[in-house]
Amino acid sequence: MDNPNFLQATWYLLIGILFVGYSILDGFDLGVGILFPFISKDDKKRAALIRSIAPVWDGNEVWLLTAGGALFAAFPLAYATVFSGFYLAIMLVLFSLIFRAVSLEFWTYDETRRPFWSKAFFVGSAIPSLLFGVALGNVVYGVPLSENHEFAGNFFTLLRPYPLLIGVLGFSAILLQGSAFVTLKMKGEIREKAQAFVKRLIFLNATLFTASCIAHIHAFSLERTNFIFWICAALFVSALGVGYSAIVKENDIVLFVATSASFALLWGCAGAIHYPRLVAASNGIMPITAVNAASGDSTLRIMLIIALIFMPLVIGYKIFVYRVFKGRIEV
């Protein structure tokens, strides 16, 4: 397998950063959506939960669009294979996200059908939270590819044990992120319930991560020598430990930073396993990598210049927005 050049490796890293940013930022509001029916049965408290994410949730989803656009421009072959092969799953995710956005608005104004919109908000948050992890599990584990690097399976090919385990791990990480955010933003009974969720979810994440490591070693025995993976794994466990200590000490900012770091380190583990592959093949075909899927160097160079100009502006704007809407939400 050829090693990527500087531009190819840089765009591999930048796209990874975009997905990490999406996971951390949209992860907490997806987590709030999953918790929505369980953390409170009172409409006033649910309205407060919606207010906690209302100013930022749509901006958070822009990170997913940017990551998809960057993947299309930098590695078009990988984009074509994944988005055509996972077509049914991706459409299910997109319709869920649309339904989720609609339910947020209608829950506020359509008071007579609020129970329905509460369920819609939950379903629209839960389906993407699971399927994102399943998709990542499939590209790491490998999917059947034709000689032209076209997906050669079907929807049920994606539902194998290893990708499903990664999907459940991602789902629990999003739940943890949402619970940590509610703990940070809310007061009173809602915050106390979120704290209880955090304590359970930290142990659940640690258990699922251990199971995922065992499954990975069983599937890819040579990966035992991947030291970057094990460093990220150790840091992941440490981040969960810091998060548990923070919840005991009721340091909500440290808790949220720790859960965000643990989410980023999950991506670090996946990147350490997968680099420089973009889509692994399960049937002996050459995988899609950062070398054979990349656009030309001139395209990557121009894109890098644009990214270096505009990414700091976008990040600065996001920091500004979160500073404007900082503080706890009261019922």
Which domains are delineated in the chain?
6-324 (1.20.1630)
Residue where the block lists tokens 């599990």: 137
pLDDT tens per residue, range 33-72: 999 988 888 888 899 999 999 889 888 888 998 999 999 9
Length of the chain: 331
pLDDT of residue 160: 92
Say which DSSP state 40 is in. Answer: -
The segments of the chain whose pLDDT lies below 50 read none
The tokens describing 22, both together, are 């999406």
User: What is the model's pTM?
Assistant: 0.94
**Is residue 160 classed exposed, middle or buried when 0-12, 13-18 and 19+ CB atoms within 10 A define those classes?**
middle
pLDDT score at 298: 95
Instruction: Classify the phi-psi angles of 297: left when phi > 0, otherwise alpha if psi is within -120 to 50, otherwise beta.
Output: alpha
In this predicted structure, what is the pLDDT of residue 39? 87
pLDDT at 136: 93
Label residue 218 left, alpha or beta by phi (over 0 means left) and psi (-120 to 50 means alpha).
alpha
- Is residue 73 classed as helix, strand or coil in its secondary structure? helix
Q: Which residues contact 92 (CB under 8 A, 6 or more apart)?
A: 127, 131
Q: Strand locations in 158-293, DSSP E?
A: 277-279, 288-289
Q: What angle do CA 268, 269, 272 make, to 5 degrees?
A: 85
Residue 312 exposed, middle or buried by CB count within 10 Å (0-12, 13-18, 19+) = exposed
Q: For residue 37, is the peptide bond before it cis, meaning its omega torsion is within 30 degrees of 0?
A: no
C-alpha distances out from residue 222 to 75, 98, 174, 226, 265, Å: 27, 42, 30, 8, 21
Query: Which two three-digit tokens encode residue 64?
Result: 């997913």
